[in-house]
Amino acid sequence: MADKIVTANRLNDGLVVYLNGAGWSERIEDARIAGDDAAADGLLAEAEGQGQEIRVVEPYLIEVALEGAGPRPVSYREAIRAKGPTVRLDLGKQADFA
Amino acid sequence: MYRYDEFDHTLVRERVAQFRGQVARRLSGELSEEEFKPLRLMNGLYLQLHAYMLRVAIPYGTFSARQMRTLADIARRYDKGYGHFTTRQNIQYNWPRLDRVPDLLDELAGVEMHALQTSGNCIRNVTADHYAGVAAEEIEDPRIYAELIRQWSSLHPEFSFLPRKFKIAVTGSPHDRAAVKVHDIGLQMCRDEDGAPGFAVLVGGGLGRSPFVAKKIREFLPKRHLLSYLEAILRVYNQLGRRDNKYKARIKILVHELGAEAFTELVEAEWAELKDGTIELPAEEVARIQSYFAPPPYEVFSSATLETQNREFEVRRFEDRGFARWVRSNVAAHKAPGYAIANISLKPQGGVPGDITAEQMDLVAELAERFGFGEIRASHQQNLLLPDVKRADLFALWQALERHGLASPNIGLVADIIACPGLDYCTLANARAIPVAQAISERFADPARQHAIGELGIKISGCINACGHHHVGQIGILGVDKKGVEFYQITLGGAADENAALGKIIGPAFGYDQVVDAVETIVDTYLEIRADDETFNQTLTRVGFAPFKEKLYTKGPQ
């Protein structure tokens, strides 16, 4: 199984977040990684658990490739979600965390 | 333009207060996402790829300088300094926070605007010809009827939970600039044999994964029966439209599956019950609405003055090639002598189609007041226009627009591309649309080349939902995902006007790095073989697809 992480949109502002050790982070580098099905199921269950519905909207698992800088989404859509619009490099995380 | 009365103000304010309560209960967890989502959508708020997206209604594309200033202010204080004009004459903000949206909506309410019913399974913003009220060939201003339909459809208790979204467009001119034939209901003003104005009623048009050109179900409908007839159509749809399959739920599917004749019989039978009843338009109410659309106080120029103005105008055009080019593509004839319609392109070279900064919005507001009566229009082609500019002021207007990157002389030309937000913003998208539009815009940057090509509509959608109207582009481009890689399918021969037609796929799709070359090949082929002043579609009809396919696929697509 490919490595996976959990992502969602934050409820109050809609921004993309990733489940990390302490809760949710806007940085994909902070995401907690699941290396097998059981771990992935566990992450998703935690993301959907008690109290999460007032933090995030509709969490789901995505596949990532592990690289030096951290997890990189395998799908192009999630790569765009992780950075921001490709046509406005001054917007989104690519600008916020530059 | 229409002004809210006390009922309108109350309705919008109450809805904002209601939504404020709903947002609070969602944030506290009292409402689940499943419960909240339909409420959120009915208030025009989506959750997209990067953030929430709010779609603000601009009824039939008409708004004021004051409203534009508020839209600019909202862009600055609630968003990231810009907005996006859409293919339904609305404006979208891509980064609002849910917890601030109620405040945002309150500010909109303060200038008689809202985001009601810009999403959800309800009747959406009614769109109209963006030249309404000023086009020389118009039978009657369609906005009067668009406003009546808006009021009838807002919070309609019977039609707030339709099988799917519902879109209505109205045109008052024989030349259709509102794409009525690809709407759920299209209303085309016409005259009966006595010359009385009324509507041809078209139903079942639409784009998306199952595109259809609408069927005419009634040749002529007297104006006074407009709402009762629409009610009859909506009742038939509400009752029989599919609710088991989201992709088969639009009225176009119902019309297609029943057949236009059977569908019409059902509508006429329903209408027989409603006709001449309480929903008929009272003449006084029509007159009241009509008064809001009375022509503004145009200056009446003497023939001598008009002659002088014209001479000066022609001198300006002769002396300044840039101005001449802008006039040629961006200025349209006005019904009042001495006036003109000035289109403002939101398609600068290499720019994001339809996007506008807060500063540009403020400028357009100022220009609308300086060079008109404070009115602005949004077209479904993602551009703006000032409807009442004195011809004598066109040069000064152009200079002001030019200084702020709003004078691209490309309305209706190859660089006036319609593109949906695509995978850069939208959760539904499979591929990016904007960078393809930008690359095409750069490739055809030379204004002289654009004008030599003439009118040619390129429309790009990032998925089959076709928000970029690719089915009705002369050159349509549909982004698809093939095993995680963006590819682009090209269609040719579409049209959105009174000769509405759906484009046909030309052949295998092109990769992201090939699609712009492919578009250029198509355009160059057209230029090589067009006869006289043939439009692209006329050439295509004459010669067929073969010459284009030969040029495109001799090397083989990726």
Q: List residues bridging with B47 in a β-sheet.
A: B52
Q: Could you give the CA distance from residue B218 to residue B229 in angstroms, rounded to a whole number?
A: 10
User: What does the block give as tokens for B171?
Assistant: 């045109």
Query: Given an 8 Å threshold on Cβ–Cβ distance, is A12 in contact with B52?
Result: no
Residue B305 has φ and ψ, to the nearest 5°, of -65, -45
Q: Classify B534 as helix, strand or coil.
A: coil
Residue A88 forms contact with B (CB below 8 Å): yes
Residue-level pLDDT at B286:
87
User: What does the block give as tokens for B121?
Assistant: 């399974």
Residue A54 forms contact with B (CB below 8 Å): yes
Q: Which of A14, A77, A87 sits opposite B98 (nearest CB)?
A: A14
Residue A86 forms contact with B (CB below 8 Å): yes
3-state secondary structure B250-281: CHHHHHHHHCHHHHHHHHHHHHHHHCCCCCCC
Domains held by chain A: number: 1
User: What does the block give as tokens for B45?
Assistant: 């708020």
Question: In sequence order, what are the residues at sequence separation of 6 or more whose Cβ sits closer than 8 angstroms to the Cβ of residue B476?
Answer: B458, B459, B460, B461, B469, B470, B490, B491, B492, B494, B503
Residue A58 forms contact with B (CB below 8 Å): yes
Q: Which of B26, B97, B435 sits opposite A14 (nearest CB)?
A: B97
Q: Quick check: B382 and B354 in contact, CB under 8 A?
A: yes
Query: Rounded to a whole number, what is the distance in Å from the CA of B349 to chain A's nearest CA?
Result: 14
E-only strand ranges, B174-299:
185-191, 197-203, 215-222
Q: Which residues of A touch B29 (CB under 8 A)?
A: 51, 53-54
Q: Which of A14, A77, A92 sits opposite B52 (nearest CB)?
A: A14
Mutation test of the interface with chain B: which of A10, A11, A50, choosing the one with the most B Cβ atoms within 10 A? A11
User: What does the block give as tokens for B38?
Assistant: 């339909």
Q: Which of A75, A76, A84 sits opposite B50 (nearest CB)?
A: A84
In the DSSP assignment, the letter for residue B477 is: E
pLDDT 10s digits, B470-489: 999 999 999 999 999 999 99
Residue-level pLDDT at B441:
98
Kindly indicate whether the ipTM for this predicted assembly is greater than 0.95, answering yes or no: yes
The pTM of the full predicted model, rounded to 2 decimals, is 0.97
Residue-level pLDDT at B277:
86
Residue B249 has φ and ψ, to the nearest 5°, of -100, -10
Q: Could you give the CA distance from residue B547 to residue B528 in angstroms, rounded to a whole number?
A: 10
> Span A13-33, mean pLDDT?
95
How many other CB atoms sit within 10 Å of the CB of residue B258? 16
E-only strand ranges, B359-417:
375-378, 384-390
User: What does the block give as tokens for A6?
Assistant: 């959990």
Is residue B141 exposed (0-12), middle (13-18) or buried (19+ Cβ within 10 Å)?
Answer: buried
Query: Rounded to a whole number, what is the distance in Å from the CA of A31 to chain B's nearest CA?
Result: 17
Identify the closest residue of chain A to B434 by CA–CA distance. Answer: A87
Pairing of strands B185-191, B168-171: parallel
**Amino acid identity at B448:** A
Query: Given an 8 Å threshold on Cβ–Cβ distance, is A13 in contact with B484?
Result: no
Question: In sequence order, what are the residues at sequence separation of 6 or more whose Cβ sits closer than 8 angstroms to the Cβ of residue B257?
Answer: none
Identify the closest residue of chain A to B78 by CA–CA distance. Answer: A13
Q: Could you give the CA distance from residue A21 to residue B59 in angstroms, rounded to a whole number?
A: 48
Residue-level pLDDT at B487:
98
Output the average pLDDT for chain A: 95
Query: Rounded to a whole number, what is the distance in Å from the CA of A27 to chain B's nearest CA?
Result: 13
Long-range contacts formed by B477-482: CB under 8 A, 24+ apart: B477/B433, B477/B436, B477/B515, B477/B519, B479/B422, B479/B423, B479/B429, B479/B430, B479/B431, B479/B432, B479/B433, B479/B436, B480/B430, B480/B431, B480/B509, B481/A76, B481/B430, B481/B431, B482/B509
Q: Which residues of A touch B483 (CB under 8 A)?
A: none
Digits of tens for pLDDT over chain B (558 positions)? 889 999 999 999 999 999 999 999 999 999 999 999 999 998 999 999 999 999 999 999 999 999 999 999 999 999 999 999 999 999 999 999 999 999 999 999 999 999 999 999 999 999 999 999 999 899 999 999 999 999 999 999 999 999 999 999 999 999 999 999 999 999 999 999 999 999 999 999 999 999 999 999 999 999 999 999 999 999 999 999 999 999 999 999 999 999 999 999 999 999 999 998 888 877 888 899 999 999 999 999 999 999 999 999 999 999 999 999 999 999 999 999 999 999 999 999 999 999 999 999 999 999 999 999 999 999 999 999 999 999 999 999 999 999 999 999 999 999 999 999 999 999 999 999 999 999 999 999 999 999 999 999 999 999 999 999 999 999 999 999 999 999 999 999 999 999 999 999 999 999 999 999 999 999 999 999 999 999 999 999 999 999 999 999 986 554
pLDDT 10s digits, A31-72: 999 999 999 999 999 999 999 999 999 999 999 999 888 899
Q: Quick check: B490 and B414 in contact, CB under 8 A?
A: no
User: What does the block give as tokens for B462?
Assistant: 């990032």
Q: Classify A12 as helix, strand or coil.
A: coil
- Give the up-direction half-sphere exposure of residue B521: CA atoms within 13 A in the CB hemisphere: 19
How many other CB atoms sit within 10 Å of the CB of residue A45? 10
Residue B47 forms contact with A (CB below 8 Å): yes
Residue-level pLDDT at B400:
98
Q: Quick check: B431 and B485 in contact, CB under 8 A?
A: no
Residue-level pLDDT at B556:
52
Q: List residues bridging with A6 in a β-sheet.
A: A61
Residue B378 has φ and ψ, to the nearest 5°, of -110, 135
Q: Could you give the CA distance from residue B301 to residue B124 in angstroms, rounded to a whole number?
A: 41
Distances (CA, A) of B251 to A61, A85, B498: 36, 34, 21
Q: Quick check: B17 and B89 in contact, CB under 8 A?
A: no
Distances (CA, A) of B95 to B80, B84, B149, B438: 7, 11, 31, 22
Residue B518: closest CA among B464, B440, B420, B447: B440
Q: Which residues of A touch B97 (CB under 8 A)?
A: 12-14
Q: Which of B27, B438, B485 sits opposite A11 (nearest CB)?
A: B27
E-only strand ranges, B345-457:
355-357, 375-378, 384-390, 418-419
Residue B78 forms contact with A (CB below 8 Å): no
Q: Could you give the CA distance from residue B75 to residue B92 in angstroms, rounded to a whole number?
A: 10
* Full set of structural domains in chain B with CATH: 6-109 (3.90.480.20), 134-292 (3.30.413.10), 303-403 (3.90.480.20), 418-553 (3.30.413.10)
Is residue A21 exposed (0-12), middle (13-18) or buried (19+ Cβ within 10 Å)?
Answer: exposed
Question: In sequence order, what are the residues at sequence separation of 6 or more whose Cβ sits closer than 8 angstroms to the Cβ of residue B544?
Answer: none
Q: Could you give the CA distance from residue B470 to residue B194 in angstroms, rounded to a whole number?
A: 39
State which residues form the domain around A65: 3-96
Q: Which H/E stretch holds residue A45? A: helix A37-47
- Give the up-direction half-sphere exposure of residue B418: CA atoms within 13 A in the CB hemisphere: 29
Q: Could you give the CA distance from residue A3 to residue B527 in angstroms, rounded to a whole number?
A: 52
Question: In sequence order, what are the residues at sequence separation of 6 or more whose Cβ sits closer than 8 angstroms to the Cβ of residue B103?
Answer: B78
Residue B271 forms contact with A (CB below 8 Å): no
Residue-level pLDDT at B318:
97
